[in-house]
Amino acid sequence: QVQLQESGPGLVKPSQTLSLTCTVSGGSISSGGHYWSWIRQVPGKGLEWIGFIYYSGTAYYNPSLKSRVTISVDTSKNQFSLKLNSVTAADTAVYYCASLGYNDRNFDYWGQGTLLTVSS
């Protein structure tokens, strides 16, 4: 059973860069069966796909965030990471990492989520 766990600071100042890491256990990022994804949810609101990365390093981003987002992967640590720069209060949300099935295109495993607040 694949498990994902987000880690990172709970608070970021406006205009700074948000950095989160997702550690995968119970399976290898390099297995090739999944894309590794970030999704966020403003408290009380819906879900927004941020982007995902394949173990090879190929990444896809939501155009609405593409200019500010970088997703990277570290196969040696079985981790992938999210960086979002120039954050504002609108980026305050629960950030989830999730695995996206390569064939079925569904988010089958999710981390528990981490609340990131943008505030001075």
Partner 1 sequence: DIQMTQSPTSVSASPGDRVTITCRASQGVSSWLAWYQQKPGKAPKLLIYVASSLQSGVPSRFSGSGSGTDFTLTISSLQPEDFATYYCQQADSFPYTFGQGTKLEIK
Cβ pair 8, 21 in contact under 8 A: yes
Taking residues 73 to 112 in sequence order and writing x for each that binds partner 1 by CB under 8 A, - otherwise, the string is -----------------------x-x--x--xxxxx-xxx
Q: Burial of 103 by CB count in 10 Å (0-12 exposed, 13-18 middle, 19+ buried)? A: exposed
- Binding residue (CB under 8 A) for partner 1 from 7, 23, 28, 62: 62
What end-to-end distance do the CA atoms of the chain give, in Å? 39
Q: State in angstroms the smallest separation of the CB of 90 from partner 1.
A: 17
Residue 88, φ and ψ in degrees, nearest 5: -130, 180
Q: Is 55 in the site for partner 1 (CB under 8 A)?
A: no
Taking residues 31 to 50 in sequence order and writing x for each that binds partner 1 by CB under 8 A, - otherwise, the string is ---------------xxxx-
- Binding residue (CB under 8 A) for partner 1 from 10, 63, 88, 119: 63
Q: State in angstroms the smallest separation of the CB of 47 from partner 1.
A: 4
Please enumerate in sequence order all residues whose Cβ is within 8 A of that of 42, keeping only pairs 6 or more positions apart, or say none. 48, 92, 93
**Dihedral sign from CA coordinates of 63, 65, 68, 71:** negative
Q: Is 10 in the site for partner 1 (CB under 8 A)?
A: no
Closer to partner 1 by Cβ: residue 35 or 55: 35
